[in-house]
Amino acid sequence: MNHIPYVNMSRTGTKLDWKKVNSELFTLTYGALVAQLLKDYENVEDVNKQLERMGYNMGIRLIEDFLARTGSGRCYDFRDTAEKIQTGFKIFLGITPVIANWSAAGDEFSLCFESNPLTEFVELPDHCLNLKYCNILIGILRGACEMVQMEIACWFVQDQLKNDNVNELRVKFIKRLEDAIPAGED
């Protein structure tokens, strides 16, 4: 390759806001992934499952990042958990969902948010009505919580892509996971 000469790269131009670009890169990349999955699977349900699985894999890593950045310790109770999840949304997606609709037992709450970076350039065509476009979020939450010994379930109650006014993500506490005994010890 030595016969190819170097070029001076300097040019006059505009400086881009890379934080915004980064968010768009994520949005568009996610969109390309969903499009690819829709091509690969015949069944929309399988796409939903695959998105959740990928989210789960991301979540179990993302939690490390979250804990390192925030330096937060264990959650006292589920309300504390809700606030930490809210912080997570703020750090990673730049949105602050509202915590609402607590169940009487205090084991279920909703996260409501109006803007969703994941769906910024998205419109669902009619044949995709069963597609849970943002299922990756659900996987991420589940994976992240599992790493801090908490089993949760979550699902979208309202979704702007399906013409609801807001996005409402419902989170339910299932159980505490006990520390497993290391293999080979009693």
Partner 1 sequence: MRQQIVDTKISSHVSGEADECLFEYLHTEMVNYTLSKSVNKKEKEEELCRLEWMGFSVGYRIIERLTRECSRFKDELDMIKFICTDFWISLYHKQIDNLRTNHHGVYVLQDNSFRLLEKVGTNSNKQYLQESPRLLAFTCGLLRGSLANLGIISTVNAEISTLPTCKFHVQVQQI
Q: Distance between CA 130 and CA 127 in Å, rounded? A: 8
Nearer to partner 1, 51 or 82 (CB): 51
Contact call for residue 72 and partner 1 (CB under 8 A) = no
Task: Choose which of 46, 80, 83, 90 interacts with partner 1 (CB under 8 A).
Answer: 90
Tokens 């919580």 found at: 145
Cα-only R_g, the chain: 20
Nearer to partner 1, 28 or 129 (CB): 28
Residues from 119 through 138 that contact partner 1 (CB under 8 A): 121, 136
Contact call for residue 115 and partner 1 (CB under 8 A) = no
Q: Distance between CA 177 and CA 186 in Å, rounded? A: 18
Beta strands in 14-131 (DSSP E): 98-100, 108-113
Measure the CA dihedral 35/36/40/41, to 10°: -40
Q: Of 31, 21, 55, nearest to 145 (Cα)?
A: 55
- Evaluate whether 37 touches 51 at the Cβ level (below 8 Å): yes
Task: Choose which of 44, 58, 147, 157 interacts with partner 1 (CB under 8 A).
Answer: 58
Contact call for residue 24 and partner 1 (CB under 8 A) = yes
Contact call for residue 19 and partner 1 (CB under 8 A) = yes
Q: Of 134, 127, 131, 77, nearest to 106 (Cα)?
A: 77
Residue 114 tokens, joined = 């109006």
Nearer to partner 1, 73 or 94 (CB): 94
Nearer to partner 1, 30 or 173 (CB): 30
Task: Choose which of 47, 48, 52, 62 interacts with partner 1 (CB under 8 A).
Answer: 62
Contact call for residue 68 and partner 1 (CB under 8 A) = no
Task: Choose which of 38, 49, 117, 157 interacts with partner 1 (CB under 8 A).
Answer: 117
Measured between its terminal Cα atoms, the distance across the chain in Å is: 61
Give the residues lining the site for partner 1 (CB under 8 A). 1, 3-7, 9-11, 13-33, 35-36, 40, 50, 54, 57-58, 61-62, 65, 69, 90-94, 117, 121, 136
